Amino acid sequence: MNSSDAVKIIPLGGLEQIGMNITAIEYEDSIIVIDCGLSFPTDDMLGIDLVIPDISYLIENQDRIKGLVITHGHEDHIGSIPYIEKQLNMPIYATKLTMGIIDYKLKEHNLINNVKRKIVTYGQIINLGCFRVEFIRTNHSIADSAALAIYTPKGVIVHTGDFKVDYTPVNGGVIDLQRFGELGKKGVLALLADSTNVERPGFTPSEKTIGKTFDHLFDDNRDRRIIIATFASNVDRVQQIINSAYKYGRKVAVDGRSMVNILGIASELGYIKIPDNTLIEMEQVNEYPGEKEVIITTGSQGENMAVLSRIAANIHNKVSIVPGDLVILSSSPIPGNEKAVNRVINELEMKGAKVIYHDTHVSGHACQEELKLMYALTKPKYAVPVHGEYKHLKRHAELAREMGIPKENVKILSTGDVLSLAEDIFEVTNKVPSGEVLVDGLGVGDVGNIVLRDRQQLSQNGLIIVAVTLEKATGEILAGPDIVSRGFVYVRESEMLIEDCRVVAEEALSDAIRRYSCDWGRIKGSLKDSLGEFLWKRTKRSPMILPIISEV
């Protein structure tokens, strides 16, 4: 069979990293897109706010896109929607809570009236071109999560989304294992399953176990004010904190933009139930004794300007840590955030707070035994690990082979790979453009590698500006060169160095004007080279050198 007559799976993000999940599935004139997430900048992406996927391939094939299907409402699955809908305007299909969160994002970007949206219920099948997509109930750390059964002309593809098996969920029903089993009996061509927790043996504990932990902590700390930081999107976790607060007679205040927004959406849609007279505004926190309050905040990942970081740094306008406060971090650090989290913990402890950050979180992702159960139920012919760094994908591939799937039927993909799939085809046949697009303020994609490199150089070595005025006709120096230093040395304490820089710049300038006449590009290059060499010899530093030549 020719690979042109195959379904194509094209991951445009979500591989080699945790986050920015987006996958296209294509057959002939139909493309559907699964999820549309973002990731957060790494330490070397100075000044960058968000990272979204490169969708050049989707823009080129816009006329074939039938819809955007969303598995759940976490940022790494929906965060890029406003940016990408501005370019593609795809109809969106999602469950009720997920759509509520998406609607809020679209309103923020003034897109709510432009984008077609449809709320889907579990078991419902939607027709998108030559594909039919069924939403299947799963459990995760946010309510209304779904797996997808995608009926294609070549067979059924099951995409688990982020999932765990929770027999006692806080909100909603238990994962529909029966449906996965039914699909397995009929025949599943390929399984795309969550790899995040594949390195962990056993089962992921139920979210309900955390409710008991909170009850114990509230009971043991009746005389302390309690501050709890968690992910805003973990609606069930917030519900359990509210339950414990109500049980122990405490008022609840909520702080952090995303926390307030999601609490409002979830409460309005019936996914969080808040007892009367329990919730208070942040403005009221000082009207109650500390032992009668619990404050739920964002910032469990040590983010610089999140609420918990501002409280720890003593720059929050309503909450100051007093000795004896209990601070609970109800989350695990995302890989790469450990330093930031430890910094916040240390600052809180120094101010006299008691900080608890162990055994106050359970994951929303399947461990090894749950993944094995998913394979046992769906019995896929092919396995394609998704959602994870390379080490997760590799371990997931090993697990798939342990479950009896032949080595040649398991593929670890890279972002941009085109996997051709049919009953007797399973191979990477092409590569499409993919990668990261950086968002800085209102700028999307206008900061690239060159700008980032400049920012890194500025942050590490500072800037030297050489300003000079030349006579246009003769090239004679009329004023300068003046040396301005920013972030390189403190000028008042380095007058000798600055004066030497001026002398070197003047000599280099005179020599360059004599050699290159009025070729300002070559004159600037010569000036940068001479001054750069001098500064490296004197200081072993390489600041950015910016010559500014004015003609009169």
Question: What are 4's two structure tokens?
Answer: 């042109």
3-state secondary structure of 159: strand
**Cα–Cα distance, 300 to 328 (Å, whole number):** 9
Q: Taking a C-beta distance cutoff of 8 angstroms, is the pair 163, 366 a contact?
A: yes
**Cα–Cα distance, 160 to 136 (Å, whole number):** 9
Which of these is catalytic: 103, 162, 194, 417? 194
**Cα–Cα distance, 247 to 5 (Å, whole number):** 60
Q: Among this protein's residues, is 49 annotated catalytic? A: no
Q: Taking a C-beta distance cutoff of 8 angstroms, is the pair 189, 156 a contact?
A: yes
Task: Tell me the sheet residues that pair with 99.
Answer: none
- Cα–Cα distance list, 454 to 46, 461, 531 (Å): 10, 10, 18
Q: Taking a C-beta distance cutoff of 8 angstroms, is the pair 170, 235 a contact?
A: no
Contacts of 182 (CB under 8 A, 6+ apart): none
**Cα–Cα distance, 532 to 297 (Å, whole number):** 48
Contacts of 257 (CB under 8 A, 6+ apart): 298
Q: Taking a C-beta distance cutoff of 8 angstroms, is the pair 368, 164 a contact?
A: no
Q: Among this protein's residues, is 365 annotated catalytic? A: yes
- Cα–Cα distance list, 249 to 154, 214, 272 (Å): 58, 14, 18
Which of these is catalytic: 74, 77, 140, 365? 365
Q: Where are the beta strands (DSSP E) in 212-302?
A: 226-229, 251-255, 279-280, 293-297
Is omega for the bond preceding 543 within 30 degrees of 0, making it cis? no
- Residues for the chain: how many in total? 552
CA angle at residue 449 from 467 to 12, to 5 degrees?
A: 160
**Cα–Cα distance, 466 to 485 (Å, whole number):** 9
Q: Taking a C-beta distance cutoff of 8 angstroms, is the pair 26, 8 a contact?
A: yes
CA angle at residue 148 from 146 to 153, to 5 degrees?
A: 170
Question: What are 427's two structure tokens?
Answer: 């191979």
Contacts of 537 (CB under 8 A, 6+ apart): none
Q: What is the DSSP letter of 55?
A: -
Question: Catalytic residues, which ones?
Answer: 194, 365
